[in-house]
Structure 1
Amino acid sequence: MYVILGATGKAGRATVAALRANGAAVRAVVRDLARAEGLSALGCEIAVADLNDPAALRAAFEGATAAQIICPVPFRADDPAAEMRRTIDTVAGALAAAAVPTVLAISDYGAELAAGTGVTLAFHHMEVRLSALPASLTFLRSAEHMQNWVRVIAVAAETGILPMLHHPVTKRFPTISAPDLGPIAAALLTTPADGTGVDGAGPRIIHAEGPRRYTAEDAAAALGRIVGRPVVARELPRAQWMATLERGGLSPGYAALVSELYDAHNAGQIDAEAGVGELRRGTTDLSAVFAALLSSR
């Protein structure tokens, strides 16, 4: 039985679909039963649990062959870092209590760094916390998700200006379509790592990004081809980041974490960890994601 947290999300649902396509038994964990209809149609067992409810999580993990976990990002929370750490600690405790033998955690590029990475620091905490478990561990470190561009490309499509936190606009950076993580994760779940987080060789580290890297100028050109008008990438001045992010719906606390993360990006600190693990690639191009995002608005 494969237990998948965040099963209604883009990455989680894609993992579920890949596992079910191969006939695996899947227990999909959701917070809202009303959103589970599609998962039931795929043949999943459904468990309802809030990620901050240790008893419900332990029940969801009982009897699991393996579990995929992800920490949701509370972008409207006053103190998102504390909330993410609290969720991670609760999930880790439930995994230990249920003695889940194999765990895959969807992590983040830069999670090996212990300071100065903003929101990614929560994923560092997750990796440290899970490494204490007596389980076969895999950390699937994901590049930033292409779907996170949804707000900014909608504005750029109307104005012809693509404002960027990635500086300079000629720098290439890694990114991946979130559903592309699903097949990668499913393959890793069904081939557990040899070591453990306590006594063995240590967690298996896998980095995941798309078929190629892009510059902001590449992104603007792709968007321009879709909307049929020129789109130009422009560096958003650092002094405007917080206000812009807050106008986009982020809490001041989360906007500060995102700003710190992009400072680290622009300093060249957020990348696949050199000499560690392996790289697996998704297949979806950025232009295909942009087209889908715009058509769904």
Structure 2
Amino acid sequence: MVGHEHPATKGITMYVVTGATGSLGRLVVRQLLDRVPADQVAAVVRDKDKAADLAARGVELRVADYDDPASLRGAFAAGDRVLFISGNEVGRRAAQHQAVVDAAKDAGVALLAYTSVLGGPKADFDLARDHQYTEQAIIDAGVPHTFLRNGWYTEVYTESLGQVLERGALVGSAGRGRVASAARADYAAAAVAVLTGEGHENKAYELSGDVAWDLDEYAAEVSRQSGKEITYRSVTPEEHREILTAAGLPEPVVALLLDIDGAIARGLLAGTSGELSRLIGRPTTPLSDSVAAALRS
């Protein structure tokens, strides 16, 4: 941390975002800067160079790594309101997340908002386990917290739109399972609302899009907007495994994708609680808008 006196000692609230150079983190920082002065925003990053644009806007950079508990001691200070964005290394996250929770507790943060998973303790798919571990670690630490149980990002699908258009099809084993997705920017807006708002302590929000859709509907929307006929090829999990393996994907990634499609098939990502649109004060981004944005880019 730069400077001799931390803003918290002057009674100034600092809004801290971990993983701030990631896709979600950057959106959160950008939206925070629309709401609060830049000198009240801190970005926890592994690589200062990747965050040069944030520093140029007046954001304080705090260098720390989830894999280095000692570095995390400088990431937080008493009174900070922190968005803890989960790591992306499945299988390593329990230890990484525990280190973040310990550092936040030791620092005496005012709020630790954590990006968890839709369903929380009820989610029965593999991807949810690290999140369930982390939620319990935060509860056990006694830190004032908010669980942002994020559903699916529409970008999970639209970011591979180029390949879908090339092949004329998308393949999956989710059957007719529905996905109540929202745009990444919608989830970022919810995080900002919690960080800068009041009355969110020790609450869990089930966050998802206003409308659930299935992959046939997604293919139809892409066809409508692109002018190219796209079909959804529904296959069994066994066939899906063969296709993904043949495409050269490593086994852990194959297992993860199959697990997610299984969760979708069981309806675990279809919930439309309305909590996301209520938090952000507007409807969530429609699927058609996300597809249009992806086609433009």
Same fold (TM over 0.5): yes
Alignment check: 8 A CA contact 1:142 1:208 kept? yes
Aligned AA for 2:27? A
1:40 aligns with 2:71: no
In structure 1, what is the equivalent of residue 88 of structure 2? 73
In structure 2, what is the equivalent of residue 133 of structure 1? 141
In structure 2, what is the equivalent of residue 120 of structure 1? 128
Written as runs of structure 1 = structure 2, the 5 A alignment for 1:172-183 is 172-183=178-189
Q: In the TM superposition, what is the alpha-carbon distance from 1:193 to its structure 2 partner?
A: 4.0
**Separation in structure 2 between the aligned mates of residue 273 and residue 97 of structure 1, nearest angstrom:** 37
**Separation in structure 1 between the aligned mates of residue 168 and residue 159 of structure 2, nearest angstrom:** 14
Unaligned runs of 5+ in 1: 75-79, 196-202
Unaligned runs of 5+ in 2: 1-13, 278-282
Alignment check: 8 A CA contact 2:158 2:290 kept? no
Written as runs of structure 1 = structure 2, the 5 A alignment for 1:191-206 is 191-193=197-199, 195=201, 203-206=202-205
Runs of 4+ residues deviating >6 angstroms: none
Alignment check: 8 A CA contact 1:28 1:47 kept? yes
In structure 2, what is the equivalent of residue 17 of structure 1? 30
Q: In the TM superposition, what is the alpha-carbon distance from 1:61 to its structure 2 partner?
A: 0.8
In structure 1, what is the equivalent of residue 285 of structure 2? 284
SS at match of 1:18: helix
Q: In the TM superposition, what is the alpha-carbon distance from 1:64 to its structure 2 partner?
A: 4.5
**Separation in structure 1 between the aligned mates of residue 225 and residue 15 of structure 2, nearest angstrom:** 39
Spell out, residue by residue over 1:239-279, the C-alpha distance to the aligned partner (whole angstroms, 9 max, x if none).
Answer: 133344456675322432332233233123445598xxx71
In structure 2, what is the equivalent of residue 106 of structure 1? 115
Alignment check: 8 A CA contact 1:162 1:233 kept? yes
1:88 pairs with one of 97, 108, 116: 97
SS at match of 1:176: coil
Q: How large is the RMSD of aligned CA atoms in angstroms?
A: 2.4
**Separation in structure 2 between the aligned mates of residue 235 and residue 218 of structure 1, nearest angstrom:** 13
Q: 1:167/1:16 Cα in 2 relative to 1: closer, same or farther (>3 Å)?
A: same
In structure 2, what is the equivalent of residue 77 of structure 1? none
Aligned length: 277
Alignment check: 8 A CA contact 2:211 2:272 kept? no
Higher relative contact order (CA 8 A, sep 6+): 1
Q: 1:29/1:153 Cα in 2 relative to 1: closer, same or farther (>3 Å)?
A: same
In structure 1, what is the equivalent of residue 16 of structure 2? 3
Alignment check: 8 A CA contact 1:144 1:174 kept? yes
Q: What is the percentage of aligned positions where both structures have the same residue? A: 27
